Amino acid sequence: MSLEVIVLAAGKGKRMQSDLPKVLHTLAGRPLINHVLETAMALNPRAVHVVCSHDDESVRAVSDGDAVRWVVQAEQRGTGHAVQQALPGVSGDALVLVMYADVPLVRCETLRTLISRAGHSGVSLLTAIVEDPTGYGRILRDSEGRIEGIVEERDATDDQRAINEVNTGILVAPVQALGRWLARVTNDNDQKEYYLTDVAALANQDNVVIQGLAAPTMEEVLGVNSRQDLALLERVHQRRLAAALMDHGVTVIDPSRLDIRGQVTAGRDCVLDINVVLEGAVALGDRVSIGPNNVIRNATIGDDVVVLANCVIERATLGAGARIGPFARIRPGVVIEERVHIGNFVEIKNSELRAGAKVNHLSYVGDTTVGRNTNIGAGVITCNYDGARKHRTEIGDDVFVGSNSQLVAPVKVGQGATVGAGSTITSDVPERALAVTRARQRHVSGWRRPRKDTKR
């Protein structure tokens, strides 16, 4: 039998206290539903059906619309009713896996085992063993340990509430049998809803074997119903991601203070200090050291790069042996070659810095090419914007630009040239020339500084 997946995403999430649909709240920088769809797609199903409410255009907008079939549940009448809305679009020979868009951390390995337990004609339920089962439906077993049903807590007896094996809601069943059972489900319960969980009792009545699989951890099957739940799952997920990096040879100083919001690859012997945020596609070479309080977004960082504390690096490429920070900002479009030094309170934007260049203190370099082994002094600014258009500055190899200078683009500074400190350069500087534009120093003898009148 081929596999098809039904993802339930129509819940409003009232406890989130938000105008945003619950499944669009983010985990590790991505909407909850995207985590679930990624897991579903990894199972290679024939089709994925997402059940959403009639006004969830925003949910469709963040998901891959070409990869899923969208189904509307116009009226919220329970999980069983939601699955019924999707069944007409499921192939008649399919094995159906039901997932939830607000349960983002279930693993593919767990789901594959669950699917294999169902076989071709049976039913399999993902359960969990918990110390405190409050709020969950309880798994009912007969005297021989066979699953015979599920009871929601609000409908359970005192003895049933003492059961610590609970239902996660995730199940696998053949589509034809699932359709027959859902047609027999009633809303004779406290919520007046059509529960998907009633399928278990109906399958038992039809003498269908129900296989139970206990999730490896409760964290894997936790859902998001509140912002507290979301914060809890964020840390669970981040610990997973940190563990994966450590398994590949990365030192994470404190896994509880690392945030990964994208796809990160890393070489050997990298070190990530506390409060590092990695967003988007981040590639770290070997022996990269990232200091505390850094944000790195969509960047490629070469071997032996050192990023000191409190830097922001976005859509940039850093070559081997570069040294960045502290307190540096590397903006989009920057290519830094090997052995470049970018120091404290330096901002670089849309520029290329060739091997061995240095911009060490309190400078802004924008829309600029900086040549090999060139030194940019403290307080240097490339004036790249005239109020309407951006212009480019070209600085050759082995140039020395003195402190507190301004290079007014478009302008070129030739190879080996020197710009004296405090100069404003508005025209091209020839190779190996000295450019000085500051006024000549003079002294006024006997000059007295103005003083305030003394109060009487």
- Tens of pLDDT, residue by residue over 275-318, are 999 999 999 999 999 999 999 999 999 999 999 999 999 999 99
Query: Is residue 263 domain-shared with residue 212, that is, in the same domain?
Result: no
Neighbours of 246 (CB within 10 A): 14
Q: Which of the listed residues 203, 221, 239 is the one where a domain comes to its end?
A: 221
Chain segment 341-368, per-residue pLDDT in tens: 999 999 999 999 999 999 999 999 999 9
191 contact partners, CB below 8 Å, separation of at least 6: 78, 152, 154
Q: For residue 87, which of 183, 179, 199 has the smallest C-alpha distance? A: 179
Boundary of a domain, candidates 197, 221, 245: 221
Pair of tokens at residue 148: 């015979």
Does 144 lie in the same domain as 270? no
- pLDDT value of position 66: 67
Burial of 323 (0-12, 13-18, 19+ CB in 10 A): buried
**Domain identity same for 195 and 260:** no
What does the chain come to in residues?
456
- Specify the CATH number for the domain of residue 43: 3.90.550.10
pLDDT at position 357 is 98
- Residue 361 is among the residues annotated as catalytic for this protein: yes
Domain that holds residue 89: 3-221
Confidence of residue 11 (pLDDT cuts 50, 70, 90): confident
User: What integer pLDDT is reported at residue 311 of this predicted model?
Assistant: 98
Q: Is residue 451 part of a domain?
A: no
CA 456 – CA 440 distance, rounded (Å): 42
Kindly report the backbone phi and psi dihedral angles of residue 361, in degrees, each rounded to the nearest multiple of 5, phi listed first: -145, 125
**What is the reported pLDDT for 297?**
98
**Amino acid 405: pLDDT:** 97
Q: Are residues 179 and 67 in the same domain?
A: yes
**Domain-located, residue 452:** no
Does the pLDDT at position 88 exceed 80?
A: yes
Name the more confident of 50 and 119: 50
Where residue 14 falls among pLDDT bands split at 50, 70, 90?
confident
Taking each helix axis from N to C end, the angle separating 108-118 and 32-42, rounded to the nearest 10 degrees, works out to 50
Q: Are residues 199 and 261 in the same domain?
A: no
Per-residue confidence band for 456, with pLDDT thresholds at 50, 70 and 90: low
**Is 127 a domain residue?**
yes
The answer on 46 and 127 residing in a single domain is: yes
Give percent of the chain above pLDDT 90: 81
Which run of H or of E encompasses 178? helix 175-184
Predicted pLDDT at 10: 87
* DSSP three-state, residue 218: helix
In this structure, the answer to whether residues 35 and 149 fall within a common structural domain is: yes
Q: Are residues 158 and 237 in the same domain?
A: no
Whether 174 is in a domain gets the answer yes
Q: Are residues 133 and 253 in the same domain?
A: no
Rounded to the nearest 5 percent, the helix, strand and coil shares of the chain are 20, 30, 45
Average pLDDT of 80-99?
Answer: 95
- Record the tokens describing residue 346, joined without a space: 């330096």
**Tokens encoding 200:** 């278990």
* CATH at residue 246: 2.160.10.10
Count up the domains in the chain and report the number. 2
Contact of 102 with 225, CB cutoff 8 Å: yes
240 and 138 in a single domain? The answer is no
From 160, 186, 221, give the residue that closes a domain.
221
Please check whether residue 400 lies inside any domain of the structure. yes
State whether 81 and 106 are in the same domain.
yes
**Of the candidates 244, 335, 328, the residue with the CA atom closest to the CA atom of residue 293:** 328
Question: Strands, DSSP E only, in 234-380?
Answer: 251-252, 258-266, 271-272, 276-284, 289-290, 295-297, 300-301, 306-307, 312-314, 316-318, 323-324, 329-330, 334-336, 341-344, 347-349, 352-353, 358-361, 364-366, 368-370, 375-376
Given 25, 120, 341, 361, which residue is catalytic?
Answer: 361
Determine, yes or no, domain membership for 448.
no
Asked if residue 446 is part of any domain, the answer here is no
pTM for the model: 0.89
- Note whether residue 440 is domain-resident: no
* Cα 452 to Cα 393: distance, rounded to the nearest angstrom: 46
Please determine, for residue 39, whether its predicted confidence score (pLDDT) is greater than 90: yes
Are 339 and 388 contained in the same domain?
A: yes
Distance CA 355, CA 337 (A): 5
